[in-house]
Amino acid sequence: MGQTIYFRSQPRIAAVSTIAGKKECEGIIGRYVETALEDDMFGESTFEKAECKMLSHVIDGAIVNGGKKREEIDLIVSGDLLNQIISASFAARDYSVPFLGVYGACSTMAESLAVAAAFADGGFAHNIVVATGSHFASAERQYRYPLELGTTRPPQAQWTVTGAGAALVTEGGDGVRITSATLGKVVDYGITDVNNMGAAMAPAAADTILAHFRETGLEPSHYDLIVTGDLGALGSRILKDLTWEKGLDISNNHVDCGEIIYKVIEDEFQGGSGAGCSAVVLNSYLYSKMMTGGIRRILFAATGALLSTVSSGQGESIPCIAHAVVLER
Amino acid sequence: MGQTIYFRSQPRIAAVSTIAGKKECEGIIGRYVETALEDDMFGESTFEKAECKMLSHVIDGAIVNGGKKREEIDLIVSGDLLNQIISASFAARDYSVPFLGVYGACSTMAESLAVAAAFADGGFAHNIVVATGSHFASAERQYRYPLELGTTRPPQAQWTVTGAGAALVTEGGDGVRITSATLGKVVDYGITDVNNMGAAMAPAAADTILAHFRETGLEPSHYDLIVTGDLGALGSRILKDLTWEKGLDISNNHVDCGEIIYKVIEDEFQGGSGAGCSAVVLNSYLYSKMMTGGIRRILFAATGALLSTVSSGQGESIPCIAHAVVLER
């Protein structure tokens, strides 16, 4: 039946909440992020605990901003980049609410939104909080090198965003409507450079975006924006090439959260990455533009690289995935 | 709206497939497992690759046993214990099928079945494969000590099952019906002993089972079996104590997959564990008993310990979760 599913009842993103680090708030999202961190440790003793606290903070924020109480929430759908998604699991511990843990790496915001919309549309839950985030320092420690080592970053590298975003998905009411989703397949073009996530993920983004337009029969101009999660500058160029080769020109309205999140992306080479990247940009800047700024239709395709240090260590390439959701106002 | 969701169309488990290691096949499941491994390496060069291959094997098996072709599958829902669920992601890479990665540790089979049933019941997918597994050696390496160290196991320890199970969930047709699910909350009683998963997970199992009977108004005798995933012998005793204290006596029909999987559980102390434990027992022994052996109703509650080596290293206790699905024939 194809990759695209339609939500007849059009569940709403009724409220959002975001938090981001100092560096992130210097950029375009600064005016829109709900909580700007002064200190990326967020008062905690470890990076991982800070990451978890950011998630709790935005889950709480989305509930409060939506005018709900904790006991009105039927489900939390969340995941993150850390081994065994400990940020999500430990954040969920503080809520007496059913929890579905998901893993889609940096595609988690889109995957969670799709799952939440399916549960809302199917009548299985009225109020669902989806949330994800990432922390530069915990990601560096887990995936790359200890920060203390001061390892030089190659030019194709991206910078993991310190931040988290949450959305309250409800059955009806005001807000941004989730009208359909195109679920991604795992795509692997054989990239093995763990510093080049953009190149690894671009084919997955292309695959899902092409499937979306093929199955819906729409043109790219149907959307005000076609948003990818964290391909970065290089990955975005590859995506546009890959879709153009297949006869789909998205260059007029494509924007990548990773490419735009930092003020001067040259400092961070290809831009931002991490599950928090698209989560923060979507739930602050883009949500605001949809609610008040005249942007009416977004195809939000977040991409994830499904590698681990073990898989790379064993010589594997990097399988990637992109899930897309259609957001309308 | 509570934790229990009802599937009006009663999606079916139309087919199953299982694989298990030599040690596992010596026990009760031996006669029922589809593929018995002669060598736990399964012809691969690493434990992780063997684990991934087991998953692919049962995904293929469930598709073939259900009389389907790969291109008829609308969705794969899968996860595993390895960091970044690489077994599931890499297995999904071989299929041109939308993929939802989930993480629920050893509760993954129940979480996946609940998500799949919701997607089938909501009309979002006709044919869904859910799969999970684990491998003793990859779990030991990741969570505990290198096998080469020959570390002594404490008496409260369990043995991670080498095996995988998959189920084909369809909208209708023959098979075992999935009629409802009780989604679990994250429960943490403060256990910090990473060798005592049974004690850590039993409160989560109790919480979900109590919620199930409270919300449905049913009595334990409604079910032929109340099955938990991998509490082991000690955890099962704790579960029965915890539910009994709350006025629910499940001792007559409770059975734990971890407790029964090995022939002589004294050898493995408290029995089996791992995402593969309940996946293999459910999709071989229990499925067979439901299809031909007169067992008509099962409450299948798989439990997961949501810790990581990092969280334990940072002094955290072990948050756990249990998801339950109702299976009827």
Per-residue pLDDT tens digits for A66-100:
999 999 999 999 999 999 999 999 999 999 999 99
| pLDDT greater than 90 at residue A114 | yes
DSSP A70-91: GGG--EEEE--SSGGGHHHHHH
Q: How many CA atoms lie within 13 A of B170 on its CB side?
A: 18
Burial code (b: 16+ CB inside 10 Å, e: under 16) for B300-309 equals bbbbbbbbbe
Q: What confidence tens digit (pLDDT) does each residue in A161-186 have?
A: 999 999 999 998 899 999 999 999 99
Query: Would you call A5 and B46 a contact, using CB atoms and an 8 Å cutoff?
Result: no
Of A46, A100, A142, the CB nearest to B111: A100
Distance between CA atoms of residues B107 and B279, nearest Å: 9
User: Where residue A267 falls among pLDDT bands split at 50, 70, 90?
Assistant: low
Kindly tell me the sign of the dihedral angle through the C-alpha atoms of A143, A147, A148, A152. Answer: positive
Q: What confidence tens digit (pLDDT) does each residue in A129-163 have?
A: 999 999 999 999 999 988 999 888 899 999 999 99
pLDDT at B278: 98
Query: Would you call A306 and B89 a contact, using CB atoms and an 8 Å cutoff?
Result: yes
Residue appearing with tokens 């009595």: B219
What phi, psi does B21 have (nearest 5°)? -70, 170
pLDDT at A265: 63
DSSP character at residue B187: B
Distance between CA atoms of residues A261 and A245, nearest Å: 27
Pick from B186, B194, B201, B214 the residue to mutate for testing the A interface (most A CBs within 10 Å): B186
Contacts of B56 (CB under 8 A, 6+ apart): B91, B94
User: Where residue A58 falls among pLDDT bands split at 50, 70, 90?
Assistant: very high
**Coil, helix or strand for A247?**
coil
| pLDDT greater than 80 at residue A253 | yes
Query: Would you call B186 and A99 a contact, using CB atoms and an 8 Å cutoff?
Result: yes
DSSP character at residue B191: -
| pLDDT greater than 90 at residue A266 | no
Query: Would you call A319 and B90 a contact, using CB atoms and an 8 Å cutoff?
Result: yes
Distance between CA atoms of residues A105 and A318, nearest Å: 12
Comparison of pLDDT for A293 and A50, the residue scoring more:
A50
Distance between CA atoms of residues B234 and B241, nearest Å: 11
User: Where residue A255 falls among pLDDT bands split at 50, 70, 90?
Assistant: very high
Query: Would you call B319 and A185 a contact, using CB atoms and an 8 Å cutoff?
Result: no
Give the gap in angstroms from C-alpha B292 to the nearest C-alpha of chain A. 32
Pick from B4, B7, B100 the residue to mutate for testing the A interface (most A CBs within 10 Å): B100
A16: left (phi over 0), alpha (psi -120 to 50) or beta: beta
Query: Would you call B186 and A306 a contact, using CB atoms and an 8 Å cutoff?
Result: no
Distance between CA atoms of residues A195 and A90, nearest Å: 29
Pick from B96, B97, B103, B112 the residue to mutate for testing the A interface (most A CBs within 10 Å): B103
A15, B116, B220, B289 from A66: Cα distances, Å:
5, 28, 38, 47
- The tens place of each residue's pLDDT in chain B, 329 residues long, gives 899 999 999 999 999 999 999 999 999 999 999 999 999 999 999 999 999 999 999 999 999 999 999 999 999 999 999 999 999 999 999 999 999 999 999 999 999 999 999 999 999 999 999 999 999 999 999 999 889 998 888 999 999 999 999 999 999 889 999 999 999 999 999 999 999 999 999 999 999 999 999 999 999 999 999 999 999 999 999 999 999 999 999 999 999 999 999 986 666 789 999 999 999 999 999 999 999 989 999 999 999 999 999 999 999 999 999 999 999 99
DSSP B288-328: HHHHHSS--EEEEEEEEE---HHHHHTT----EEEEEEEEE
Contacts of B241 (CB under 8 A, 6+ apart): none
Give chain B's domains with CATH numbers: 4-170 (3.40.47.40), 176-328 (3.40.47.40)
Query: Would you call A306 and B85 a contact, using CB atoms and an 8 Å cutoff?
Result: yes
Residue appearing with tokens 């964290």: A230
**Looking at beta carbons, which residues of chain A come within 8 Å of B307?**
84, 86
Residue appearing with tokens 């087919």: B15
Q: What pairing do the DSSP bridges indicate for beta strands A127-134 and A254-256?
A: unpaired
pLDDT at A269: 82
Closest by Cα among A303, A263, A261 to A281: A261
Give the gap in angstroms from C-alpha A109 to the nearest C-alpha of chain B. 12
pLDDT at B266: 64
ipTM beyond cut 0.90: yes
**Coil, helix or strand for A23?**
helix
pLDDT at A139: 96
Distance between CA atoms of residues B13 and B283, nearest Å: 10
Contacts of B320 (CB under 8 A, 6+ apart): B186, B187, B188, B200, B201, B203, B204, B303, B304, B305, B306
Distance between CA atoms of residues A14 and A134, nearest Å: 23
**Looking at beta carbons, which residues of chain B come within 8 Å of A93?**
186-188, 319
Rounded to a whole number of angstroms, the distance between the first and last alpha carbons of chain B is: 27
